[in-house]
Amino acid sequence: MRMYDIIMKKRNGGSLSGEEIRWMIGEYTAGRIPDYQMSAFLMAVYFRGMGEDETLELTMAMARSGEMLDLSGIQGIKVDKHSTGGVGDKTSLALTPMVAACGIRVAKMSGRGLGHTGGTIDKLESFRGFSTEISTEQFEEQVNRIGISIMGQTADLAPADKKLYALRDVTATVDQMALIASSIMSKKLAAGADAIVLDVKTGSGAFMKTEEDAKALAREMVRIGNGAGKHTIAIVSEMGQPLGNAVGNALEVQEAIATLRGEGPEDFTELCLTLGSCMLVAGKKAGTTQEAREMLQKVIEDGSALNKLAEFVQAQGGDAGQVWHPETLPAAAIHMPVPAPEDGYIQAIQCEEVGNCSMILGGGRVTKDSVLDLSVGLILHKKVGDPVKQGEAMATIYANDPEKAKEAAARYTAACRIGQQPVEKQKLIKAVIQ
Ligand code: URA
């Protein structure tokens, strides 16, 4: 087989066979196909697309390019959850102990943040001593013992995707549906869970800016997951403004703890209940989403979800006392309110720009090697649709450097659009696709 012929076939709008796709991914992962040929192929896919069978073949070939995690040593149905990423998305922090408290086995691999989006591992490291650098044996043992463990992604998980993603990033070929779907799903399939619940974000802070594109991506990923024999459900949810009120690592941990106490923001609590219900049904702990919702509400009310978080933090070397005393989590020295420049209603909050504010403060990674300040970030006091009075705080900036605080405050002000007309609040859950 020759890469030249495969490029030509795709360039001319042909469909590749499974054999061709498997050969190409194997040879590329082994370093026997140069990046310039793979770049040409990716651009051909960008313009010609891929059919359903081709996308599934590509996903499976990338999933099998490295280690396929075998979670058969963990009893019960393992349910994984994945978000396409956003600002203030601390869902895994609250959701995983909630579903684990209901008996679901959570064996999850998570990543770190890059750019304007945060990552679960960085947030969890707000707990003193907490580590996700654990062995696969410890991971399995912990899930069997307490029902929950989160580890960092192993270097050998879908290495073909790692190489391809880096190439797509510099060849303007990231935003192609089949390539995104196969990239995300290859990692999920290699991570070994029996069922997958996806949270596909849409809006200004998301990868998919329009609801239509987000729904199409969700349908594609559900089709791939089910085609690979994993029960897969996707939710399409709003990311036109930050989720909840907190943005920034330790601040988001505090908000997740408040949510497990039943005192969280309405939108964030609702998302956790919706995703959690899908996870309980997929894991066969509940027959209907209504029954699942009641189970989740109960573990919040009786404190068992919060206890599960403490158990999880302790099992991974963290200071569980901070779950009961979140005021001891990393705290910033400067609290700077951001006043509304005029009376009116918040019409829009540029979501990506709020993530950038957190990054300016030191809470996000500019490069892979950036050292984070876990204490900084923002708390939003007003969200889209809320009325504001001139001078009233729209948000508070948490910082350790006064110059950075001023810069973030100015950018936050510019990110908020205030108008005289009341606006309708956006629906949080746009669709459930299964
Ligand atoms: N996240 C991924 O892992 N891959 C993509 O292609 C896009 C987002």
- Write the CATH number for 399: 3.90.1170.30
Q: How far is the CA of 177 from the centre of ligand 1 (A)?
A: 10
Give the mean pLDDT of 105-130.
87
Residue 63 lies in a domain: no
* Tokens read off for 375: 């204490």
Residue 211 lies in a domain: yes
- The residue nearest atom 8 of ligand 1, judged by CA position, is 180
pLDDT digits (tens, 9 = 90+) for 46-98: 999 999 999 999 999 999 999 999 999 998 999 999 999 889 999 999 999 99
d(CA 258, CA 40): 49
312 shares its domain with 335: no
Q: Is 360 strand, coil or helix?
A: helix
> Which residue among 89, 173, 184 has the greatest number of ligand 1 atoms within 8 angstroms of its CB, and so is best to mutate?
184
The one-letter amino acid code at 96 reads T
- Per the prediction, the chain carries an average pLDDT of 95
Q: What percent of the chain has pLDDT over 70?
A: 99
**Tokens 């042909």, located at residue:** 14
Confidence check: pLDDT of 114 > 70: no
β strands within 159-230, DSSP E: 195-202
pLDDT on residue 148: 96
Give 148's DSSP letter: E
pLDDT on residue 86: 87
Active site residue 187: yes
294 shares its domain with 340: no
- Boundaries of domain holding 196: 79-324
d(CA 240, CA 350): 7
* Tokens read off for 333: 């020295």
pLDDT digits (tens, 9 = 90+) for 206-263: 888 899 999 999 999 999 999 999 999 999 999 999 999 999 999 999 999 999 999 9
* Tokens read off for 160: 């073909």
φ, ψ dihedrals at 105, nearest 5°: -85, 115
Q: Please give the full DSSP string across 323-334, using - where no structure is assigned.
A: HH-GGGS---SE
Catalytic residue among 168, 201, 215, 430: 168
d(CA 294, CA 12): 54
Q: Is 352 strand, coil or helix?
A: helix
- The C-alpha angle with vertex 94 and arms to 332 and 335, in degrees rounded to 5, equals 15
198 shares its domain with 277: yes
- Write the CATH number for 24: 1.20.970.10
97 shares its domain with 168: yes
Which atom belonging to ligand 1 lies closest to the Cα atom of 165?
6
161 shares its domain with 305: yes
pLDDT digits (tens, 9 = 90+) for 118-143: 789 999 999 999 999 998 889 999 99
Residue 66 lies in a domain: no
Tell me how many domains the chain contains.
3
d(CA 359, CA 132): 23
13 shares its domain with 135: no
185 shares its domain with 289: yes
Catalytic residue among 161, 194, 199, 213: 161
Residue 284 lies in a domain: yes
Give 229's DSSP letter: T
397 shares its domain with 314: no
d(CA 174, CA 184): 12
344 shares its domain with 297: no
pLDDT on residue 369: 78
Q: What percent of the chain has pLDDT over 90?
A: 88
Instruction: Name the band, by pLDDT with cuts 50, 70 and 90, for residue 366.
Output: confident
pLDDT on residue 129: 97
- 90, 255 in Cβ contact below 8 A? yes
Among 324, 358, 384, where does a domain finish?
324
Residue 433 lies in a domain: no
